[in-house]
Amino acid sequence: MEGVIVSFRRGRRTQNMRQMIIQVDGVDSVDKATELVGKTVTWEAPGKNKKVLSGKITAPHGGKGVVRSIWETGVPGQALGAKVNIQ
């Protein structure tokens, strides 16, 4: 299953680099998003080293099927709009 990183989880003046908002393909309701809680998310960084960052889906976010994820390390800004794999 694939998804797209939409944004950092943020407030008015802060953003959390370890928490991301992800739109999952084919998920359009809170009920479907709740089924994904606990699954692992991975993102492969571009470049010659191909570093793989991983995280975990923790909760639905809003009412349109978007999910929240917490990552082991901070995710760089170049990951915004990038595809992630969900296992």
**Domain interval for residue 75:** 2-86
Number of domains within the chain: 1
Confidence of residue 4 (pLDDT cuts 50, 70, 90): very high
User: pLDDT tens for residues 13-69?
Assistant: 999 999 999 999 999 999 999 999 999 999 999 989 999 999 999 999 999 999 999
Q: For residues 27 and 13, what is the distance between their CA atoms, to the nearest angstrom?
A: 29
pLDDT at 68: 97
Name the nearest CA neighbour of 61 among 22, 3, 13. Answer: 22
CA angle 37, 70, 30 (to 5 degrees): 35
Give me the CATH number covering residue 54: 2.40.10.190
pTM score of the predicted model: 0.90
CA angle 39, 42, 48 (to 5 degrees): 170
